[in-house]
Amino acid sequence: MTFITKPKVAHPSLPRNALGCTRRDYEGALSTLCAGCGHDSITAAIVEACWGLSLEPQNLVKLSGIGCSSKTTAYFVSGGHGFNSVHGRMPSIATGANAANRRLSYIGVSGDGDTLSIGLGQFCHAIRRNLDMLYIIENNGVYGLTKGQFSASADVGSKAKKGETNLQPPIDPVLLALDLGATFVARSFSGDKRQLVPLIEAGLRHRGFALIDVLSPCVTFNDHEGSTKSYAYTREHYEPAVLADFVPREREITADYGAGEASEVILHDGSRIVLRKLDADYDPGDRRAAAARVQERMSSGEYLTGLIYLDASGERPEFHQVSRTPEVPLNSLPYEALTPGAKALEKILARYR
Amino acid sequence: MTFITKPKVAHPSLPRNALGCTRRDYEGALSTLCAGCGHDSITAAIVEACWGLSLEPQNLVKLSGIGCSSKTTAYFVSGGHGFNSVHGRMPSIATGANAANRRLSYIGVSGDGDTLSIGLGQFCHAIRRNLDMLYIIENNGVYGLTKGQFSASADVGSKAKKGETNLQPPIDPVLLALDLGATFVARSFSGDKRQLVPLIEAGLRHRGFALIDVLSPCVTFNDHEGSTKSYAYTREHYEPAVLADFVPREREITADYGAGEASEVILHDGSRIVLRKLDADYDPGDRRAAAARVQERMSSGEYLTGLIYLDASGERPEFHQVSRTPEVPLNSLPYEALTPGAKALEKILARYR
Amino acid sequence: MTTRRVNDFTIKIATVNGTGSASANTLLMKSIFRSGVPVMGKNFFPSNIQGLPTWYEIRVSRDGHVARSGRVDLMVALNPETYARDVKEVASGGFLVYDSTWPRPALLSRPDITVIGVPLAQMCNERFSGVRTRILMKNICYAGVLAALLSLDLERIRGLLAETYAKKPALVESNMQAIQLGYDYARQHFECPLPLSVEPMDRTAGHIMIDGNTAAALGCVYAGATVAAWYPITPSTSLMDAFKSFCDRLRVDPETGLRRFAFIQAEDELAAIGMVLGASWNGARSFTATSGPGISLMNEFLGLAYYAEVPAVIFDIQRVGPSTGMPTRTQQGDLMACAYASHGDTRHVCLYPANPEECFYMAREAFDLAERLQTPVMVLSDLDIGMNDWMCPDLEWDDAYRPDRGKVLGLEEILKLEKFHRYVDKDGDGIPWRTLPGVHPKAAYFTRGSGHTQFGAYTEDSADYQVVLDRLLRKWDTAKKRVPRPIADGAGSELGIVSLGSSDSAIREALAVLRGRGVAIDYLRVRAFPFGEEVERFLAAHRLSFVVEQNRDAQLRSLLTLETAVEKAKLRSLLHYSGLPVSSSFIVEGVLAEIASPAAQPQDIAHA
Amino acid sequence: MTTRRVNDFTIKIATVNGTGSASANTLLMKSIFRSGVPVMGKNFFPSNIQGLPTWYEIRVSRDGHVARSGRVDLMVALNPETYARDVKEVASGGFLVYDSTWPRPALLSRPDITVIGVPLAQMCNERFSGVRTRILMKNICYAGVLAALLSLDLERIRGLLAETYAKKPALVESNMQAIQLGYDYARQHFECPLPLSVEPMDRTAGHIMIDGNTAAALGCVYAGATVAAWYPITPSTSLMDAFKSFCDRLRVDPETGLRRFAFIQAEDELAAIGMVLGASWNGARSFTATSGPGISLMNEFLGLAYYAEVPAVIFDIQRVGPSTGMPTRTQQGDLMACAYASHGDTRHVCLYPANPEECFYMAREAFDLAERLQTPVMVLSDLDIGMNDWMCPDLEWDDAYRPDRGKVLGLEEILKLEKFHRYVDKDGDGIPWRTLPGVHPKAAYFTRGSGHTQFGAYTEDSADYQVVLDRLLRKWDTAKKRVPRPIADGAGSELGIVSLGSSDSAIREALAVLRGRGVAIDYLRVRAFPFGEEVERFLAAHRLSFVVEQNRDAQLRSLLTLETAVEKAKLRSLLHYSGLPVSSSFIVEGVLAEIASPAAQPQDIAHA
Ligand SMILES: Cc1ncc(C[n+]2csc(CCOP(=O)(O)OP(=O)(O)O)c2C)c(N)n1
Ligand SMILES: Cc1ncc(C[n+]2csc(CCOP(=O)(O)OP(=O)(O)O)c2C)c(N)n1
Ligand code: SF4
Ligand code: SF4
Ligand SMILES: [Mg+2]
Ligand SMILES: [Mg+2]
């Protein structure tokens, strides 16, 4: 909601990225969410990541469904086109948009209601297609915009503001994504910008479907005691497994990592993800082990976070590889490359005589 | 499709169940599927199971979506009501029907297209609700009724009749069900009646959501070489893990099992499932281990079959337990039990003055 | 100088949502109601949770007019963001109250109104501590100011607070402190009461203040509905919330804690309507509530229900479309979408309640009709009816009522049958007999949305198919006689107004005004689709009928054009689709403009 | 005795599906076509894969009438299950061919027809081995019988086979053997040819035989569509299959194997339309094809596209509704569902092709219009057009054609702008300018289905909201001038026929018959919604117009009633909704009955 447009006067001392842009250039309209809403922190992290990647604003396409979370696409990168579609159906819009122009970066922002209830089917099928996009779930365990009903990610035993207790097991998007063959699966927390920003950067650069499930407390309807998606609970039961530092191709790795502490994965565009495993046993390249670990932690009420799984091998073809479409975006092919022409029609008709 | 109704003249020598009914009494209209279609074998197994359980035909409610598979509800137990709904949305019909009358048995028959494409969301949510029903997927890897397009269960590399090769990973309903907390998860093959019939019996008696994914070759569009859902492939790459014998409460266990060979699970109604593990290591009571094993076999192209997972503990409440509805079906409560009456209205109105 | 307007004026309060002003507004409205003066409250709130502009309009009307008047006599402007427009809206001679803690020179731009500054924030900051408390108190404090200015009874206000916070008596005290603060300040600094004021009457006895969603929910409880399935969407959510909370109070066995209802939050609207069909098909009274986007998503299932003849009750609490539109604004924009929902030849019974009272009775009616006619029945309410508090006569209930379950064969009847055929028209009224699962194998039938014969068998045969399709039209004719009849007012004029739903209150006020000015005009309020005899007669009897409705595309006029014999030229549209409830003045002006114009001849304008 | 009917009769072939008769039927039909005689073939197949009754009708018409005639002159009855009805259907004096391997006394019940027994099974069992081969051969053998009876050229048939089995010459031989078998038997046992027979003409030059789905797909290829997303549903599937196979042939880079199109099998229709919107929004020409149930599921997204002004092309290949209905039968039952799809005030541009030729041209037109008008355009074909082979003039293409991408600002124009506003009506035609993602940050805008101002910002303000909603009506008026114009035939009669789509061929034949009988009657074929000037004029100029359409609820008549100035009383419905294509005789009889009746006065019957 943009009753007010933010003034964009950049202070000369603000740091600038490779394009000469300040963070301000990646902001959007003023947020109309509740003060303290986790979603606003994620917006800030997206701004930071886009700035950090020196993304050309017009090359970012922002897609969303309906919900408090879905509104946030208006609050960052106002220089990129946004498509705030209908409830739960953003993945199909993303699929079509991506099919038309594979050269842009696609970021989808959704809520747990938008993704796991009404949108569950489309979400799963976008993963199955390995659609090249970053999909962020701003997961608060409730329907914020419609005032606090449980969503399908609400944990068993979690209490609604009105006192009702949820008895149905949650659908976990991370497990689902692992099962369905997603090639980049991460979880984070809106309050942990240090973890979140590099994940967003890496997700944007990953070729294929990148999921980041971000726990994002709803201060109005689900931040009370007894809620497993509250700030307090999340902070405490939050177990980082694999930290990721993202280094764009254009940049050197600058941080010092102790021996054996970090491993490096090179993405298709030459960028690197430096993985730091907090638990030597954990292998973010093993899909089944990752799923097992997620489940194990979950059963003791913990959220495993970080870059949980990554397949940077490129073995699983993304949507355009499956479709065998050319590098030139379909929307830029000249008509001449598309029409068979009048002569060819003659030949075609011969079959129908 | 019932152009022709089958004559039902029972030969006096036909075996009769506890109700005095012959198998004929559990049949339905004549099938109009292709000769040799796997679905017809499943129909036969359902007839056998219902007869074996001495189910009162009118107590079976048959639900389906749209597809060759979904048509089959017309081909068994003509004494039970059937609801052939719309494509992919049978689970919601089942949920409402079950909510209205918990005393009947609900069997849903669906296809891989019906369940895993258009119906994926409803399927997952029915599992999440632990709806008390038996849900059979007649899984052939294609859309039979619309003439052979790949479904979402087609394996990577499987070839369509027209030659196209599928490059997208399949969605496996068994894994999905395990992830989503289903309490009864089985896989079988339409050609293996001995395995299938007791699974259907057990599934009908299980309280909560029972899934049986039945590999069911489509002879017309997906039974050629190179198809992982063909008769030939299925027969060969079919690994029974846990065989189940079903013993209704009313009956004694008669078979002799060698020591340590079989274990017994008692269902809520006193019936028993005798599990025979073909692999001593396998534990059908461990959800995570089951999922791991399914994945492991799948990665070498095998289908693990049998009763893959069972939670008969009743710890996970089924839909009516969550809803805390009475034993008396809602549709049978007398109006007097529902209306607060004129006097109560007076009191209610007081709050609005 | 302003003339005195006792019990006849409109207050508008501009604040920010999520800051507690809602309770102050209700308090004001209810205290007026309790002093026996007819009143209405309308809430214009944003589609977010916190921090955006929100308005509340209270109309005090000794004559019982509960529509928007179209004018504002007293503005309470507490939201700096909307000052500019709020000031503009005050009627000449009116009043404006603002928080004078900060200077607001812009508010002084209207010499023709009286501006009243009260340092709300300052007073509350001095008296209370804590950021949140101060904000909340500031937003209750103005209730005290208004109490003084309008001469509302403080004791009555305290009584209301005591009821609201029965379990938290401390809150009563703190709130009263804030109210007293405002009250005292106003009395010290201004001449109280203003020329606008409230004087006790006794015109609200036998009435309640209730919103339509609550009333509809109550109707569902009394109709014996047991299965409620839905997906949250504004402005229908409160209907389901109310149903659940009534059932929690009235339908739970105190000993076992068991609930004589199932309340299912579905995964989306497709699932919600599917659940309703499943439950209804299986013999439970079942319903859902939704708004426009949900209706769109239910299209496929609605067609199935029509063709397979499954009862269902659907409340559509209309909001502004198209698409997501303005979720917190009102419209009557789904008339066509509901009447003809789904592909192929389909048509659906619709009921059009005009106020909460009718929501209550029509909820019951909807269930009876749905089972009687074996078809979906849609109740088209709207945000204005559903979420605003309306003054209504007490709801009444006759304990002799028993649900009309329609033509359902019981076991005994089934046993007597030779064979059961689901879709045969035994009685000539187009309504076949049905059976329920679990009763007897002989009664089993197969429900399908694919082509079927009257015996329930699958068919692809033209003649068999048409037998069923034609019978459905006979059923439709039966429906015409069974649905709620329209309500007519006036007799014998050559001009008429035809309308439906929430436009009613504005029209009734407009009629009074027009007749007062010598315009003889009749009024027919349509209450259901299909239309019956009386609608035909009214249209035939009037030279020109104004069709008043709240949408852009003249949807009621379209339905009348299609489904009655009326000549199109006899229908003139008055369309209001701003998202705010239509006001009486809009109608008065619209009618006067038309009849005054030289071209007072009927002409065909689809979009006035 | 039968009169000789050279090149003017109808054959109907009753078989069982999945047994190979489809190739025999096509062979027969094509060999007639190749002998220069106008012909039509209509397939009535069941909604299953194998083993159910299926019929094929071949109409041979020297006058070029390609509708169903409504009579059967020669029945080939090969399906015992349907013998009874098949025999009944033969016109008096007609012929019936059956397989005399088994005695069929029932077939002899009609002394007024000639029954011709050929021991097809016996002959094939003797000649061929293998169960499957025998069945297949039996089902080609009757083509030989008919070739003899009707005097078709065997060499032409062999030529056709050679083309079909270019890669499997062995099949040509075996098929020819079977054909020869039938041919020889018939010539030996019966007097050949029958009084019904085919004599070469030259009335098919410059024509092709093609189905509408193939033609539409070709139109999409030529229009430059690059993103096709769909979910399989009969009878739309073959459109997508054809698009894919044309693209596989014509749009794949021979060197790299890269495909200049994306073909996406979506998970359902909601996703399919979502993909189309995403792609169109992003600047690709994109489309989907579906049938009734899919349209119902697309309702929500269609409303979004209307309101957010996103181009899209949707083919609705109509089948029989409501609900799942009869998936393999034809109807024009989605006219209303498409015109007003979605909740709220929405309306959509629809095109109504009458035959495959128009499917081709209208596909192109649809893309141009969708981008020009920035709105969804629905092309309403039907099963009859889409899946049957129609004789059409050769399709033509002008290489000068360039897609009309509508008002899309390019980089240079954007650079010149001070600011970009998405929804401002710069040109007064109601169509705003749009931009594409990835071009320039200044051109970025936010697309939403929620309330928005003309500048693209979110709004809940009445005035801002109405500015956009009102402009959409101006755009609608522009659309009226841009859509394909209707086609009128005849001049000056006081009676008219108004129709659309696939009813055209039957009407044109009916016109000839009626005029032949002295009934002066004009004809207007509507080709698009909204209607323009010419439709208004036609309706105004005729005392009475028969509205011919293939649905129960008079949906075209409804649209005409609502969207033109015509008086309802001037429209009389002729409704055909059996699921079979309307025949010319139905129309002739309908019109004659009406004008002969004493009450030839117009009256309002919604459902004739
Ligand atoms: C078809 C449809 N159904 C329902 C709604 C109402 N609705 C809006 S947002 C929402 C849920 C949002 O929950 P979530 O996605 O978790 O977002 P959050 O607000 O919690 O960030 C619902 C049900 C809608 N807009 N459209
Ligand atoms: C809304 C809708 N979309 C599409 C269809 C067409 N359709 C009928 S069956 C089917 C797929 C069936 O596949 P599956 O469920 O695997 O069943 P099978 O025929 O293979 O047993 C489709 C797409 C339909 N009936 N309804
Ligand atoms: S309601 Fe919850 S999710 Fe929505 S803006 Fe407020 S805090 Fe955030
Ligand atoms: S098409 Fe395939 S699934 Fe359908 S009936 Fe035939 S064999 Fe079975
Ligand atoms: Mg949420
Ligand atoms: Mg299948």
pLDDT digits 0-9 by tens, A9-56? 657 788 999 999 999 999 999 999 999 999 999 999 999 999 999 999
Ramachandran area for residue B107 (φ above 0: left; ψ -120 to 50: alpha; else beta): beta
Convert B107-173 into a string of H (helix), E (strand) and C (coil). Answer: EEEEEHHHHHCCCHHHHHHHHHCCCCEEEEEEECCEECCCCCEECCCCCCCCECCCCCECCCCCCCH
Q: What is the pLDDT of residue A9?
A: 61
Q: What is the mean pLDDT of residues A128-133?
A: 98
Same-domain status, C152 and C236: no
CA–CA separation, A61 vs A47, rounded Å? 13
CA–CA separation, B48 vs B26, rounded Å? 8
Q: Which of A143, A161, A190, A230 to mutate to test the pocket of ligand 1 (most atoms within 8 A of CB)?
A: A143
Beta pairing class for C53-61 and A142-143: unpaired
> Is the model more confident about C452 or about A249?
C452
Per-residue confidence at D491, pLDDT binned at 50, 70, 90? confident
Residue B231 Cβ < 6 Å to ligand 4? no
Residue B4 lies in a domain: no
**Which residue(s) pair with B209 in the sheet?**
B133
CATH classification of the domain holding D345: 3.40.50.970
Burial (CB count within 10 angstroms: exposed 0-12, middle 13-18, buried 19+), residue C266: buried
Q: How far is CA D181 from CA D149, D157, D218, in A?
A: 13, 14, 39
CB atoms A220 and C50 under 8 Å: yes
On chain C, the residues whose CB falls within 8 A of the CB of D568 are 561, 565, 567-568
Same-domain status, C96 and C135: yes
On chain D, the residues whose CB falls within 8 A of the CB of C340 are 336-337, 340
Ligand 2 centroid to Cα of residue C571, in Å, is 46
Same-domain status, C544 and C581: yes
Residue A339 lies in a domain: no
CA–CA separation, C264 vs C574, rounded Å? 40
Show the ligand 1 pocket: residues with CB < 6 angstroms. A 66-69, 87, 111-114, 138, 140, 142-146, 151; C 231-233, 269, 293-294, 297, 324
Nearest-by-CA chain A residue for D223: A339
CB atoms B337 and C272 under 8 Å: no
Asked if C447 is an interface residue toward chain D (Cβ–Cβ < 8 A), one would say no
Same-domain status, D450 and D358: no
CATH classification of the domain holding C548: 3.40.50.920
Domain that holds residue B158: 23-323
Residue A351 lies in a domain: no
Residue B349 lies in a domain: no
Of the ligands numbered here, which is closest to the C-alpha atom of A190? Answer: 3
Instruction: Tell me which of D432, D465, D482 is where a domain ends.
Output: D482
Residue A100 lies in a domain: yes
Q: How many CB pairs below 8 Å do chains A and B form together?
A: 62
Residues of chain C with pLDDT under 50: 1, 600-608
Ligand 1 centroid to Cα of residue D221, in Å, is 38
Of the ligands numbered here, which is closest to the C-alpha atom of B217? Answer: 4
Per-residue confidence at D576, pLDDT binned at 50, 70, 90? very high
Q: What is the pLDDT of residue D18?
A: 82
Residues 292-311 of D with CB under 8 A from B: 293
CB atoms D460 and C329 under 8 Å: yes
Residue D297 Cβ < 6 Å to ligand 2? yes
Nearest-by-CA chain D residue for C603: D565
Q: Looking at A229-243, B82-96, C235-249, which range is the least confident one?
A: A229-243
Show the ligand 3 pocket: residues with CB < 6 angstroms. A 33-34, 37, 39, 68, 140, 144-145, 218-221; C 49-50
Would you say the C-alpha torsion A47, A51, A57, A62 has a positive or negative sign?
negative
Per-residue confidence at D48, pLDDT binned at 50, 70, 90? confident
- Structural tokens at position D574: 């002729």
On chain D, the residues whose CB falls within 8 A of the CB of B3 are 52-53, 81
CA–CA separation, B42 vs B138, rounded Å? 8
Residue B201 lies in a domain: yes
Convert D192-237 into a string of H (helix), E (strand) and C (coil). Answer: CCCCEECCCCCCCCCEEEEEHHHHHHHHHHHHCCCEEEECCCCCCH
Q: How far is CA B159 from CA A129, A278, B162, B227, C357, in A?
A: 18, 43, 8, 6, 63
Q: Are C348 and C378 in contact (CB under 8 A)?
A: yes
CA–CA separation, A167 vs A157, rounded Å? 6
Residue B347 lies in a domain: no
Same-domain status, D586 and D472: no
Q: Residue with the nearest Cα to atom 10 of ligand 2?
A: B67
Q: If you search the block for the tokens 């994620």, which residue do you land on? A: A42
On chain B, the residues whose CB falls within 8 A of the CB of C224 are 335, 338-339
Same-domain status, C179 and C58: yes
Q: Residue C574: which of C500, C478, C470, C491 has the closest Cα?
A: C500
**Which residue(s) pair with A69 in the sheet?**
none
CATH classification of the domain holding B77: 3.40.50.970
Q: Which of D47, D49, D231 to mutate to test the pocket of ligand 2 (most atoms within 8 A of CB)?
A: D231
Q: What are phi and psi of C481, to 5 degrees?
A: -85, -15
| Cβ neighbours of residue D502 closer than 8 Å, sequence gap 6 or more | D330, D332, D354, D355, D381, D382, D384, D385, D550, D581, D582
Same-domain status, D493 and D478: no
CA–CA separation, D314 vs D230, rounded Å? 10
Q: Which of C47, C48, C50, C231 to mutate to test the pocket of ligand 1 (most atoms within 8 A of CB)?
A: C231
Instruction: Tell me which of C463, C482, C501 is where a domain ends.
Output: C482
Residue D202 lies in a domain: no
Same-domain status, D108 and D51: yes
Nearest-by-CA chain C residue for D552: C345
CA–CA separation, B245 vs B275, rounded Å? 6
Q: How far is CA B4 from CA B81, B109, C444, C459, D324, in A?
A: 19, 22, 17, 11, 21
pLDDT per residue over D166-181, tens digit each?
A: 999 899 999 999 999 9
Q: What is the pLDDT of residue D608?
A: 34
Residue B2 lies in a domain: no
Residue B161 Cβ < 6 Å to ligand 2? no
CB atoms B3 and D267 under 8 Å: no
Q: With a cut of 90, say whether residue A318 has pLDDT above it.
A: yes
Residue C205 lies in a domain: no
How many Cβ atoms from other residues are within 10 Å of residue B235's Cβ?
13
Residue C446 lies in a domain: yes
Q: Residue D403: which of D494, D280, D569, D579 has the closest Cα?
A: D280
Q: Are D557 and D518 in contact (CB under 8 A)?
A: no
Burial (CB count within 10 angstroms: exposed 0-12, middle 13-18, buried 19+), residue C189: middle
Question: What single-letter DSSP state applies at residue B26?
Answer: G
CA–CA separation, D601 vs D495, rounded Å? 12
Q: Are A292 and A284 in contact (CB under 8 A)?
A: no
Residues 259-318 of C with CB under 8 A from D: 292-293, 295-297, 299-300, 303-304, 306-308
Burial (CB count within 10 angstroms: exposed 0-12, middle 13-18, buried 19+), residue C436: buried
Q: With a cut of 50, say whether residue B1 has pLDDT above it.
A: no
Nearest-by-CA chain B residue for D271: B118
Ramachandran area for residue A26 (φ above 0: left; ψ -120 to 50: alpha; else beta): alpha
Q: Which of A1, A30, A66, A68 to mutate to test the pocket of ligand 3 (most atoms within 8 A of CB)?
A: A68
pLDDT per residue over B114-163, tens digit each?
A: 999 999 999 999 999 999 999 999 999 999 999 999 999 998 888 887 77
CA–CA separation, C292 vs C234, rounded Å? 10
Same-domain status, D587 and D499: yes
Q: Looking at A83-97, B310-324, D573-587, which range is the least confident one?
A: B310-324
CB atoms B117 and D81 under 8 Å: no
Q: What is the pLDDT of residue A156?
A: 87
Beta pairing class for D39-44 and D53-61: antiparallel
Residue B170 Cβ < 6 Å to ligand 4? no
| Cβ neighbours of residue A250 closer than 8 Å, sequence gap 6 or more | A18, A54
| Cβ neighbours of residue D20 closer than 8 Å, sequence gap 6 or more | D135, D136, D139, D140
CA–CA separation, A300 vs D253, rounded Å? 55
Question: What single-letter DSSP state applies at residue C501?
Answer: G
What distance, in Å, lies between the first and last C-alpha atoms of chain C? 38
Residue D204 lies in a domain: no
Asked if B95 is an interface residue toward chain C (Cβ–Cβ < 8 A), one would say yes
Beta pairing class for B262-266 and D446-448: unpaired
Q: What is the pLDDT of residue D251?
A: 97
Asked if A66 is an interface residue toward chain C (Cβ–Cβ < 8 A), one would say yes
Per-residue confidence at B9, pLDDT binned at 50, 70, 90? low
Q: What is the pLDDT of residue B6?
A: 56
Q: What is the pLDDT of residue A6?
A: 55
CA–CA separation, B260 vs B240, rounded Å? 18
Q: What are phi and psi of B150, to 5 degrees?
A: -60, 145
Same-domain status, D327 and D245: yes
CATH classification of the domain holding C127: 3.40.920.10
Strand, coil or helix: C402: coil
Q: What is the mean pLDDT of residues D527-547?
A: 97
What distance, in Å, lies between the first and last C-alpha atoms of chain D? 38
Q: How far is CA D192 from CA B8, B152, C521, D188, in A?
A: 48, 55, 80, 9
Domain that holds residue D59: 5-197
Residue D6 C-alpha, separation from nearest chain B C-alpha, in angstroms: 38
Residue D332 lies in a domain: yes
Report the nearest atom of ligand 3 relative to the CA of A221.
Answer: 2
Ligand 1 centroid to Cα of residue C128, in Å, is 37
Ligand 6 centroid to Cα of residue B221, in Å, is 10
On chain D, the residues whose CB falls within 8 A of the CB of C463 are 578
Query: How many domains are there within chain D?
Result: 4
Same-domain status, C453 and C525: no
Ligand 3 centroid to Cα of residue A1, in Å, is 14
Helix/strand/coil percentages in chain A, nearest 5: 35, 20, 45
Nearest-by-CA chain B residue for A319: B168
Q: Residue with the nearest Cα to atom 6 of ligand 3?
A: A34
Q: Are C522 and C491 in contact (CB under 8 A)?
A: yes
Query: Interior CA angle at D589 toward D584 and D592, to 5°?
Result: 125
Q: Looking at B198-212, B235-249, D188-202, which range is the least confident one?
A: B235-249
Q: What is the ipTM of this complex?
A: 0.97
Q: Looking at A4-8, B227-231, B252-256, which range is the least confident one?
A: A4-8
The 10 Å CB-count burial string (b at 16+, else e) for C394-404 is ebebeeeeebe
Q: What is the pLDDT of residue A334?
A: 97
Helix/strand/coil percentages in chain D, nearest 5: 40, 20, 35
Ligand 1 centroid to Cα of residue C231, in Å, is 9
Query: How many domains are there within chain A?
Result: 1
Q: What are the residues whose beta carbon lies below 5 Å from ligand 5 (ion)?
A: A 111-113, 140
Q: Are A266 and A312 in contact (CB under 8 A)?
A: yes
The verdict on whether omega for the bond into residue C530 sits within 30 degrees of 0, i.e. cis, is yes
Instruction: Tell me which of C482, C501, C526 is where a domain ends.
Output: C482
Residue D205 lies in a domain: no
CA–CA separation, C566 vs C557, rounded Å? 10
Residues 389-418 of C with CB under 8 A from B: 394-399, 401-403
pLDDT per residue over B197-234, tens digit each?
A: 999 999 999 999 999 999 999 999 999 888 889 999 99
Question: Whole-prediction pTM value?
Answer: 0.97
Same-domain status, C453 and C523: no
Q: What are phi and psi of D317, to 5 degrees?
A: -90, 95
Q: What is the DSSP string of A145-163?
A: TTTSEE-TTPPTT-B-TTS
Query: Interior CA angle at D225 toward B151 and D229, to 5°?
Result: 20
Four-point Cα dihedral D520, D525, D530, D535, nearest 10: -20
Residue A177 C-alpha, separation from nearest chain B C-alpha, in angstroms: 11
Residue C51 C-alpha, separation from nearest chain A C-alpha, in angstroms: 7
Task: Return the amino acid letter for D557.
Answer: R
Q: What is the pLDDT of residue C607?
A: 38
Q: What is the pLDDT of residue C207?
A: 97
Q: What is the pLDDT of residue C490?
A: 87
